[in-house]
Homo-oligomer: A and B are copies of this chain.
Amino acid sequence: MAGDLGMMPGMTAVLVIEDDDRIRLALLLALEDEGYDAVGAATAEEGLRVQRRNPADYVLVDLMLPGLDGFECIRHLRRDDDVPVVVVSARDDTHDIVAALEAGADDYVVKPVAIKELTARLRALRRRARAGVAGSAPEPVPVLAFGELEISPDGGEVRRAGQPVPVTRTEFRLLCELAEHAGRVLSRQQLLQRVWGYDSGDERLVDVHVGRLRQKIESDPATPRHLVTLRGLGYKLQR
């Protein structure tokens, strides 16, 4: 599993204990996009073992797990460790919520949950927990990666092969918009609307900025590898 060995220094590590492979994978990928070092476990037992050997900064845990269930899992986590625990469950009964929090969980969210909400809750939790813990890791800055191209929407910077690329505000917004919908075509109209806020206008404007952006982020701007044109449709950013 990604990042299992080689936990990056300076990154915040999150352990996801969830038996459904699809959901676990989706969570792991989303967390990594947000700049976390995410590790998965399919059962409570495995999760506890991983956490003991290689403690994460946060644990996300499902309630319905084969074998040891979520509640037991939380109690075990609480026994060894003071790691913040967030329950991510499909059930939204008050009874479950209360039981999980009583068992020692710090928060409880109901699936499906937006990744942005989840990370906002992790940050809120960190703010609370940090008062106590001395050298807690700094908040990770999310980075979207496209091959050697790295875009950090929050950091306001773009790097190519690790080197910072100076882009203007408009270019940056355009790039972020494309990056957030990576792999999908966005029409000039859509881009005008989302980047410029124009409801109508000259679509050539988009071309010009795409062109300037290519000069900066593509190694060979004439034959773009990431920021590609789809004739008659628009542009897309791809890996």
Question: Which A residues are within 8 Å of any B CB, using their own CB?
Answer: 82, 84, 94, 97-98, 101-102, 104-107, 114, 116-117, 120-121, 123-125, 127-136, 138-142, 152, 154-157, 168-170, 172, 181-185, 230-234, 236
Q: How far is the CA of A127 from the CA of B168 in the complex (A)?
A: 26
The 5 closest A-B pairs by CB, nearest first: A169-B232, A131-B132, A156-B185, A132-B132, A94-B114
Contact (Cβ within 8 A) B234 A156? yes
For the complex formed, measure the closest distance between the CB of A215 and the CB atoms of chain B, giving whole angstroms.
18
- Residues of B near A232 (CB, < 8 A) are 168-170
Closest partner residue, chain B, to A131 (CB atom): B132
Known: A128-B106, A155-B183. Is A117-B134 also a contact (CB below 8 A)? no
Known: A134-B139, A155-B236, A156-B233. Is A101-B128 also a contact (CB below 8 A)? no
Closest partner residue, chain B, to A144 (CB atom): B138
- Residues of B near A125 (CB, < 8 A) are 128
For the complex formed, measure the closest distance between the CB of A206 and the CB atoms of chain B, giving whole angstroms.
16
- Residues of B near A140 (CB, < 8 A) are 134
Contact (Cβ within 8 A) B117 A156? no
Closest partner residue, chain B, to A231 (CB atom): B169
18 A–B pairs (Cβ distance < 8 Å), ordered by A: A84-B128, A101-B123, A106-B124, A107-B107, A128-B132, A129-B131, A132-B132, A132-B134, A134-B140, A138-B182, A152-B183, A154-B184, A154-B185, A155-B183, A155-B184, A156-B236, A157-B230, A172-B233
Q: How far is the CA of A122 from the CA of B77 in the complex (A)?
A: 20
Known: A120-B97, A156-B236, A182-B138. Is A168-B132 also a contact (CB below 8 A)? no
Contact (Cβ within 8 A) A230 B129? no
Q: How far is the CA of A134 from the CA of B131 in the complex (A)?
A: 10
Q: Which of B97, B141, B230 contacts A156 (CB 8 A)?
A: B230
